[in-house]
Amino acid sequence: MNPGPKVIFHLFGQELLPVTDTLIVGWASVIIILILAKFLTVSLKLRPEGRQNIAEFMVELIYDQIEPMLPGEGWDFLPFIATIFIFIGVGNLVGLIPGVTSPTGDLNTTLGLALVVFLVSQYHGMKEFGIGGYLKGFAEPVIFLLPINIIGELAKPISHSFRLFGNVVGGGIIMTLIYQAAPALIPVPLHAWFGFFVGLIQALIFGMVAIAYISVAKS
Amino acid sequence: MVEFSPEVVDSIIRIASFIAAGTALIAGVGPGIGMGYAAGKATTAVRRQPEARGVIITTMLLGQIISGSTGIYSLVIAIFLVFSV
């Protein structure tokens, strides 16, 4: 019982380029998202009907999370935050299919996403204050706090990625233990909890924390 | 000085890391108390001002996320301890 990603094959036969099951499922969920996005936005009309309602509901749900924290810039950050939100949401939900490993149950996926968020927040901080002004912000309110501020900044992507990874893997381990103890009926409501509810909440939380980091860097 | 065979040393390391993994999860107490406190305060706030429900829930979730991080750290450390030996 090893919860880590399993290497399926090596790209071009190189030892340095392993292709894991989480990587394959991750790309599959990207393709699922592409097909869904295409399907939901066929023949857009000014007066929405049918599937266009679902697309508008999702866009507005994410927009309503961004707008209070980054006033006036909701539409600028919507593509980035919505990408994270939808990818993690779909990535958590495909883990419900038996035999499919969730791509977010791999530290490589979550750390990659968290590093992208980290770089984006640094970029916006520097854009807001200029590089010198932004770096000076680390030495405030007094210069002695400089190392603590830097460590606090570097801890952000670590805690950000470990949170999602820990939640998904922890749920998976509990499910595996329950399957060994009670294989019938009892796991069904727990799947609804660990797979469905925790998965969607974690996607929302990952996106919200990303918004919070960007808005902290900009203020 | 007692000499142990490699198998004995290996099982001692195994036992030690399992005990350490179990002990690491004591860290789950703190986040539990903290998140419960935040949820209780948010309930009071919603009762006082039901129209500000959305903002209160967002703020509560953000605070709970931050306080829950330490619990997740201990969980990740426990997972690494259990599955790396």
Average pLDDT in the A90-108 region?
Answer: 85
Contact A4, B83 (CB under 8 A): yes
Contact A201, A88 (CB under 8 A): no
Partner-chain residue, chosen from A4, A163, A208, that has the shortest CB–CB distance to B62: A208
Tell me what pLDDT residue A102 has. 85
In a domain, A78, yes or no: yes
Measured CA to CA, the distance from residue A200 to residue A179 in angstroms comes to: 23
At A147-190, the pLDDT tens digits run 888 888 888 898 889 888 888 888 888 888 888 888 788 888 88
Tell whether the model's pLDDT for residue A84 goes beyond 50.
Answer: yes
Q: How far is B3 from chain A (nearest CA, A)?
A: 32
Domains with residue ranges and CATH for chain B: 6-84 (1.20.20.10)
Whether this model's ipTM surpasses 0.90 comes out as no
In a domain, A184, yes or no: yes
Share of chain A above pLDDT 90, in %: 16
Query: Does B68 contact A163 at a Cβ distance shorter than 8 Å?
Result: yes
Q: How confident is the model at residue A1 (pLDDT cuts 50, 70, 90)?
A: very low
Partner-chain residue, chosen from A68, A169, A212, that has the shortest CB–CB distance to B79: A169
Tell me what pLDDT residue A88 has. 92
At A46-74, the pLDDT tens digits run 777 778 888 888 888 888 888 888 888 88
Query: Does B65 contact A65 at a Cβ distance shorter than 8 Å?
Result: no
In a domain, A2, yes or no: no
In a domain, A1, yes or no: no
Count of C-beta atoms within a 10 Å radius of residue A9: 10
- Extract the runs of DSSP E, i.e. beta strands, from chain A: 7-10, 18-20
In a domain, A98, yes or no: yes
Measured CA to CA, the distance from residue A114 to residue A116 in angstroms comes to: 5
Q: What's chain B's length in residues?
A: 85
Report the number of distinct structural domains present in chain A.
1
CA angle B31, A83, A50 (to 5 degrees): 110
In a domain, A204, yes or no: yes
Average pLDDT, chain B: 88
User: A10 in helix, strand or coil?
Assistant: strand
Contact A111, A162 (CB under 8 A): no
Measured CA to CA, the distance from residue A29 to residue A113 in angstroms comes to: 15
Q: How far is B12 from chain A (nearest CA, A)?
A: 21
Query: Does B69 contact A173 at a Cβ distance shorter than 8 Å?
Result: no
At B48-62, the pLDDT tens digits run 999 988 888 888 888
Partner-chain residue, chosen from A2, A68, A162, that has the shortest CB–CB distance to B73: A162
Using beta carbons and an 8 Å cutoff, which residues of A are at the interface with B? 2-4, 65, 68, 159, 162-163, 165-167, 169-170, 173, 205, 208-209, 212
Strand-strand pairing, A7-10 and A18-20: antiparallel
In a domain, A94, yes or no: yes
Tell me what pLDDT residue A198 has. 85
At B59-82, the pLDDT tens digits run 888 888 888 888 888 888 888 888
Q: What's chain A's length in residues?
A: 219
* Domain with A202 in it: 7-218
Query: Does A159 contact B72 at a Cβ distance shorter than 8 Å?
Result: yes
Partner-chain residue, chosen from A68, A166, A209, that has the shortest CB–CB distance to B75: A166
At A132-147, the pLDDT tens digits run 888 888 877 788 888 8
Measured CA to CA, the distance from residue A194 to residue A166 in angstroms comes to: 12
- Which of B13, B17, B84, B61 lies closest to A107 in space, CA to CA? B84
Tell whether the model's pLDDT for residue A10 goes beyond 80.
Answer: no
Q: Is B80 on the interface with A (CB under 8 A)?
A: no
- Which of B62, B68, B15, B37 lies closest to A65 in space, CA to CA? B62
Q: Is B53 on the interface with A (CB under 8 A)?
A: no
Tell me what pLDDT residue A20 has. 84
